[in-house]
A and B are shown apart, each in its own frame.
Chain A
Amino acid sequence: MHEVDMTKCLILSMEEWAEKKNKEKIIVEKINLKIGEFTCVEPISLINTFNAAVLGSWLDSSEITIETIPFEGKCSKCNRSYFPKKENGYKSPCCNFNLEEIISGRELKIASIDFKEK
């Protein structure tokens, strides 16, 4: 259900961006997102929600692409990076240390927008 609110935020950000570009004169082809694995977003739900929300609007023909960013942590004992797993309590496999530092996976970003001028 939270994907609905994320979509609202995304559309508002798109509106803000488009105002600077002269919205009437552009066609947005792709909105390229980066979504981290350590977020509450289900990518397919976000795409479906977006597609339903923009029907009949200026973003109707726009496509969402999602690059999934892996969840990566850093072991605070030996500084090695690792992919935390729920099954292992997110601990580092090298030193069995708790997850202190997250390197990536918390991203919720509009990375870029591909558009054409009419």
Chain B
Amino acid sequence: MHLPISDKIELNILHQNSHQAEKNKVKFNNYNLLCLNIMSSPGAGKTRLLEITLEDLSTEFQSAVLEGDMTTNLDAARLEKLNIPVVPITTGRACHLDANMVSGGLKLLEKKINPHILDILLVENVGNLVCPAEFEIGEHFKVALLSITEGEDKPLKYPIMFREADLILITKVDLLPHLNFDINELKSNISSTNPKADVIEISSITKSGFDLWQKWISKKILKFKK
């Protein structure tokens, strides 16, 4: 037996995932396809948001969706009704999408459609505030939803999700008159955790805020395609 040797490698634990995420991003870039990673807790309104958004975007842009779900294809079935390409990714027991899953989803999408004709790929992550933001998938931007029924303190309790997000959508704001909820406190908690994030208040019932969200997306697509 020899004496122990210490090999200082300073390697990211998630290096394998990051490496695949980089490959995904190269593919998205080659397709000239903007990719958004949509994240939130379960029930914050991701699928409903996508239903409305995809319909609104359809006049101007070509979209597709990778739909992450732990055990069912229920959300994918809802979005397929909009006649856009949707690939369900069932994660099984995994509580987030990772870069390999998205790579697999992209391969299935390539069989359905030529991604060169697409402008935007919306990836709906698994409903979970704890870890999805820690696993890169090759996205260009992260969008986090937070519904007002979840409470003002969530950005402080799940700071990584809200720190990593480029845009935070405060959803279900039509419920404000019915709840004892302080939206200014929520906004202050968002600013404390992530002063650089864009913030939009939105309601899928009244459609308030959707104009700003659509503008945000359009701006990102047009800038990306330049």
Contact = CB atoms under 8 A, between A and B. Distances in A.
B5 A9 contact: no
Interface string B148-166: 0000000011011001000
Binding site of A, secondary structure by majority: helix, strand, loop or mixed?
mixed
A110 B9 contact: yes
B8 A38 contact: no
B176 interface: no
> Which has the most chain A C-beta neighbours within 10 Å: B7, B8, B12?
B7
A80 interface: no
Contacts of A67: none
A12 interface: yes
Interface in B1-30: 1-17
Nearest to A112: B8
A9 B94 contact: no
Nearest to A46: B13
A89 B93 CA distance: 33
Interface residues of B, number: 38
Given A1-B93, A13-B13, A108-B14, A90 B192 contact: yes
A40 interface: yes
Interface residues of A, number: 36
Contacts of A98: 191-192, 195
B4 A29 contact: yes
A77 interface: no
A117 B196 CA distance: 49
B216 interface: no
B14 A9 contact: yes
A111 interface: yes
Nearest to A100: B195
A2 B13 contact: no
Contact of A89 (B10, B17, B134, B156): B156
> Which has the most chain A C-beta neighbours within 10 Å: B2, B13, B160, B195?
B13
Nearest to A6: B13
Contacts of B131: 1-2, 40
B5 A90 contact: no
A116 B3 contact: yes
Interface string A2-22: 101110111011001100010
A8 B6 CA distance: 22
B13 A115 contact: no
A118 B4 CA distance: 10
B94 A5 contact: yes
Contact of B4 (A6, A111, A116): A116
A53 B193 CA distance: 35
Q: Which 10 A-B pairs have the closest CB atoms?
A: A89-B192, A2-B131, A98-B195, A12-B16, A117-B2, A112-B8, A108-B13, A40-B131, A9-B16, A1-B95
